[in-house]
Amino acid sequence: MNKKLKTLVYGAIGVLSALIILIVVLIVNNSRTTTAVNEAQARADSLAIANDQLLLTSEFNQLNADFNQYEGQQIYLKNDSLVQKYNEARMKVEGLIKELNDEKKSHSRDMASSRAKIKKLEGEIATLKGIVRHYLEEIKRLGEENAGLKQEILQVQERNQALTSQVTQATASNAELTQTVKLAKKLNITNVGFHAYNKKGRVEKKLGKARQLGVSFTVSPNNTAAPGMKDFYMRVISPEGTLLGGAGSFHIDGQNVPYTAKRSVEYANDEINVSIYWDVNTTLTPGDYTVEVFCDGYRLASRHFTMSK
């Protein structure tokens, strides 16, 4: 082989070697690039999955908070199937979130599996949204019904209060009218006098010679009062505060009251003069005497008279 041919052969070998080296270098570089791209894509996918998981978890927590806010009003629901459905869906969502968190902690996340679970989680969250929306609508409806019932009850209470007030006013008016009628029937007396009388029936100034004490008065005409026999009771109280006499008692204001003397007279709604006497049976002392007159359950007069020695 001549020198020129050797040169050509060696040159060809060199070029071929260079090509082989270049190809190997390109293959190695391409492999590294592909690996880097795949790793970057994997990181991007992992971040996307983590972000989706974070968003769905936040959305789930918000739904749970909305539901729990009205959980105390479950007693208003006639059918608690909504609560049961919500609890079932919530358990599924919690399970999927736990699985995703476990995969994240183990650093062995299967992207396809994680994406499938994210997709399923989105579906469960959508179901949960529908249940919560229906639940809140039901609570709102029942709340409006309760508000309506409360308003009706309030109106009934107000009507009852108004009726009670009317009845109270009517009762008071009737009582006042009854009292007015009752007072209208009461007899009125005037010219009340009190004297001591001697054994001859004459007015006696000296108490030591008194044989009787007597009260006299005039009964005024009253067409409202019932005519007929009237019992007039006299009470005489000595200066010492002792009731003189003790002929018996009469009934007034729910109790029996003793009296000194009484007299029954015919009353025909006209003016009449009445005198009531009491026979002295004790020693009389000078001073102020209280004289009271009663009839038909009323005290017609109460007067004070000074009797001298």
More reliable by pLDDT, 218 or 96: 218
Count of structural domains within the chain? 2
Domain span at residue 64 reads 3-143
With a cut of 60, say whether residue 203 has pLDDT above it: yes
pLDDT of residue 176: 57
Whole-number pLDDT of residue 295 = 94
Mean pLDDT over 45-63 rounds to: 70
pLDDT by residue (tens digit) across 207-223? 889 999 999 999 999 98
- Residue-level pLDDT at 4: 64
**pLDDT per residue as tens digits for the range 161-189:** 887 777 777 666 665 544 444 555 789 99
Answer with the residue of higher pLDDT: 115 or 296: 296
Token pair 């994997």: residue: 42
- Asked if residue 264 and residue 197 are part of one domain, the reply reads yes
Does residue 275 belong to any structural domain of this protein?
A: yes
71 and 194 share a domain? no
Cα dist from 306 to 127, 206, 218, whole Å: 104, 12, 21
| 93 domain-assigned | yes
Asked whether residue 173 is assigned to any structural domain, the reply reads: no
Which pLDDT tens digit goes with each residue over 106-152?
555 567 777 787 777 777 778 877 777 777 777 777 767 777 767 87
For a pLDDT cut of 70, what percent of the chain falls above it?
70
Same domain, 11 and 114: yes
User: How confident is residue 159, by pLDDT bands cut at 50, 70 and 90?
Assistant: confident
Q: Does 271 lie in the same domain as 213?
A: yes
**Are 119 and 203 found together in one domain?**
no
